Structure 1
Amino acid sequence: MEKQRIAILGPGSWGTALSQVLNDNGHEVCLWGNIPEQIEEINHRHTNTRYFKDIVLDDAIKATTDLEEALDGVDAVLFVVPTKVTRLVAKQVAQTLKHKVIVMHASKGLEPGTHERLSTILEEEIPENLRSEIVVVSGPSHAEETIVRDLTLITAASKDEAAAKYVQGLFSNRYFRLYTNTDVIGVETAGALKNIIAVGAGALHGMGYGDNAKAAIIARGLAEITRLGVKMGANPLTYSGLSGVGDLIVTGTSVHSRNWRAGDALGRGEKLEDIEANMGMVIEGISTTKVAYELAQELDVYMPITQAIYSVIYEGKDTKEAILSTMTGELRHENEWEKD
């Protein structure tokens, strides 16, 4: 693929790691953020020490606080901002863009209040004459491993297969490989909802439970994620792929996952407000738990793990009591999909 110019909105850990992938592929990358000190550090020291203490970025990777500068002449725009500000940033992009671009996002969450997927938000806020069909970049990926060029396989999903293939070609190289998918609902719901299960998996670890419990929560967590996603219109096969079970494994078993670490701290008895203050990064699983709980009630979907984690975060229930309550619920058939 010939050299492309890409604006990456959000210089967090994942945005920074993806900027390096694109730079390695010979593309021109500009990171946009709103913290002047961070942007100055990237431009002058070529580091982003808030997220990566020992990594030096290529000096070709530029950063700016000026959105107009970031979007000037770009071929593609990649959103990697927290879910709660995606709509706000999309509005700003719509007001600033002067030509049509490929629009991608690599964030994982559902919007509080509206329950909307991130691609839906981008579709609503950025006019069709300024964008492609949205492409979702998602899958089992820790920024801490991608930044050191560890092998990573993820998914590019879009209703427009040509747009997905463009993004596949944009990112793929010897250590970073993308597969295409047209099931946007499945890929986005899998990426968002696995964060909830990761909180639960971390909580089990924090309480001292072992591999049996870990396997159980991942397997049963995937079942309830799939139930909700299919009710929303997803293809069930997506949940057995990279963006489904793949992402759930990597997020539900690793200290690199902030959702897992948050759950681990909850399991050890720490208070949520202290955990959030100490993390220094957004814990998407916390807000997504509330959205998923509300969606499950609205769509009448059986999600006992999500309900248990919701009761801990939003109702103050004891973590051990809530998690173990899932062991004493109604005895069911493993492949049962709907509530009676």
Structure 2
Amino acid sequence: MKTKIGVLGTGAWGTALASILLKNGHIVKMWGIDQDEINNLKTGYNNRYFGHKKLVKSPDLVSSDLAAVVDGCDYLLLAIPSKFFNDVLAKLANVLKDRKVNLINVAKGMDGQTKQFWSEVIKQAFSKNLLSLTSLLGPSFATEVFDNHPTVINAVSNDMTSCKKVCELFNNDTFQLVPFDNELSAQMFAAIKNVCAIGTGIVFEQTTSANTRSALLTKLFNEMDRLYESLAKDKYRPKDCTQLNGIGDFILTCTNDQSRNFSFGKLVAKYGIKNALKKNINTVEGYLAAKTMYEIIKNNNLELKLLITIYQILYEDLDKSVLVKKLIN
């Protein structure tokens, strides 16, 4: 059955997921603010992110008119860069007014101002509108989704009935969503693995040793899980970290040059933090998340020496070579 879905955001992720939904036969409307991207998408392309590769078909509507895109949609998919997220939420709330809606979120990490995970920010912003909220989290690069490489990630929600309906919207022969019911673990792993990726980028640039790299990955993952345990307390479930949004996204983000955070870590290793910040042109979620992570670590008196060291390299000008030394000492 055809479902009307509004995709907010004409970037790489919004376009890749719109392509999946179009492939599945749904009615897809897209909203954006970049007029060149809007005009491009009307022809079935997004050359900025995917070159001359074409979507399965052109979206049913591509517009900068938010009200026109939202009108009549059963679901709204939020594919907005984190730096614009709050502004777009405010615009959407103004358009929706009292209307009820199902939201799908693909933003990872947390709000740098409120220190809240994005799922919590969304719930507060749409407390009177929300029928359901499902977040799509897991090992996935937009370019590979667009190219139809087999991809499996989690659909995360506290409402499993709604979550399974979202899975049905997306699932096909190359893309699968697996339902998962723990928002806290999924959102925390989504944020902290970006910090870890900066650390692995630093060390991978410094050494080609498989021994050293493997030790770093293992210890960082264990520290990330201990951080989650301190937040979850009696709700901690040991197997949560083994999900696609846990170990899966960790491996992807912490070992691949397509990862902005991993690539940024390499820049830090080459040029130092100050010059890396000057050279970097992309949003590095892990750099911002490291501050909030460090506050959580301090407030809970946790001894997570690798995560603390990454923070100190980023914000206290600690020598970047110290991270490798901390593996042993």
Q: Return the TM-score normalized by structure 1.
A: 0.89
Pairwise CA distance, 1:118: 0.8
Which residue is equivalent to 1:104? 104
| Distance in 2 (alpha carbons) for counterparts of 1:50 and 1:278 | 18
Q: Is the 8 A contact 2:75 2:104 kept in 1?
A: yes
Which residue is equivalent to 1:266? 268
Q: Is the 8 A contact 1:115 1:295 kept in 2?
A: no
Which residue is equivalent to 1:34? 33
Pairwise CA distance, 1:231: 2.1
Which residue is equivalent to 1:295? 296
* Cα 1:236–1:32 shift into 2, 3 Å: farther
Which residue is equivalent to 2:246? 244
Q: Is the 8 A contact 1:197 1:217 kept in 2?
A: no
SS in 2 for 1:132: strand
Which residue is equivalent to 1:56? 54
| Distance in 2 (alpha carbons) for counterparts of 1:193 and 1:14 | 20
Pairwise CA distance, 1:137: 0.7
Pairwise CA distance, 1:5: 1.2
Which residue is equivalent to 1:147? 146
| Distance in 1 (alpha carbons) for counterparts of 2:100 and 2:189 | 29
One-letter identity of the residue aligned with 1:208: T
Q: Is the 8 A contact 2:215 2:327 kept in 1?
A: no
Pairwise CA distance, 1:277: 4.8
State the identity as a percent: 28
SS in 1 for 2:62: strand
Q: Deviations over 1:76-104 (max 9, x none)?
A: 11112233432332222111125322111
**Which ranges in structure 2 are unaligned for 5 or more consecutive residues?**
none
Pairwise CA distance, 1:133: 3.1
| Distance in 1 (alpha carbons) for counterparts of 2:101 and 2:193 | 30
Q: CA RMSD in A?
A: 1.9
Which residue is equivalent to 1:332? none
Q: How many residues align?
A: 324
Regions of 4+ moved over 6 Å? none
Question: Which is further off, 87-96 or 195-204?
Answer: 87-96
SS in 2 for 1:11: coil
**Which ranges in structure 1 are unaligned for 5 or more consecutive residues?**
330-340
* Cα 1:16–1:305 shift into 2, 3 Å: farther
Pairwise CA distance, 1:35: 1.8
| Distance in 1 (alpha carbons) for counterparts of 2:306 and 2:34 | 37
| Distance in 2 (alpha carbons) for counterparts of 1:238 and 1:69 | 40
Q: Is the 8 A contact 1:90 1:125 kept in 2?
A: yes
| Distance in 1 (alpha carbons) for counterparts of 2:134 and 2:327 | 39
Pairwise CA distance, 1:249: 0.6
Q: Is the 8 A contact 1:75 1:101 kept in 2?
A: yes
| Distance in 2 (alpha carbons) for counterparts of 1:145 and 1:193 | 23
One-letter identity of the residue aligned with 1:167: V
| Distance in 1 (alpha carbons) for counterparts of 2:14 and 2:303 | 34
| Distance in 2 (alpha carbons) for counterparts of 1:277 and 1:35 | 24
Q: Deviations over 1:123-154 (max 9, x none)?
A: 100133x2223211100111121110001010
* Cα 1:33–1:213 shift into 2, 3 Å: farther
Pairwise CA distance, 1:49: 2.7
* Cα 1:110–1:253 shift into 2, 3 Å: same
Pairwise CA distance, 1:243: 0.6
**Where do 1:55-134 residues align within 5 Å?**
55-61=53-59, 62-97=61-96, 99-128=99-128, 130-134=129-133
| Distance in 2 (alpha carbons) for counterparts of 1:240 and 1:325 | 28
Pairwise CA distance, 1:232: 2.0
| Distance in 1 (alpha carbons) for counterparts of 2:52 and 2:189 | 31
Pairwise CA distance, 1:217: 2.1
